[in-house]
Amino acid sequence: MFKKLRQRWELSTIRVVLVLCTFAVAGSLSGIAARKLMHFLEMEKGVFYWLVYLLIVSLIWPLAVLTVSIPFGQFSFFKAYLRRMSRRLGFAGKQNDSAKSEHMGSSDAMEDRL
């Protein structure tokens, strides 16, 4: 598993571990924060509750992952990762090739491989 992630992301083993830890911590923090917000909203647990919960987690997670990535030293990886995901979901416009080649850095090169 680590070998495939290392090859796909072109990261060292330690960086893969740091990225996975960042994913885990940010996901846990997102779930905790969403539960706190849901408790504040005092909604009954039902289908609507879970839909709102998933929406809140989905909105909190990108902020959590960027925040958590700073102490883990993985901010550039996750900035590129979130940029790529937003493009795939249609939230961000595509850069043209000339603008992309001007700003191509290690995180941008990694972004194209995600």
Handedness of CA 40, 41, 43, 45 (dihedral sign): negative
- What is the pLDDT of the chain when averaged over all its residues? 84
pLDDT at 30: 96
- d(Cα 43, Cα 4) in Å, to the nearest integer? 42
pLDDT at 103: 43
pLDDT at 69: 96
pLDDT at 80: 93
What's the rounded mean pLDDT across residues 94-104? 47
3-class SS letters over 40-69: HHCCCCCHHHHHHHHHHHHHHHHHHHHHHH
pLDDT tens-place string over residues 46-70: 999 999 999 999 999 999 999 999 9
Q: At which residue do the structure tokens 């987690």 appear? A: 57
Is 0.75 topped by the overall pTM? no
Q: Where are the domains of the chain?
A: 2-113
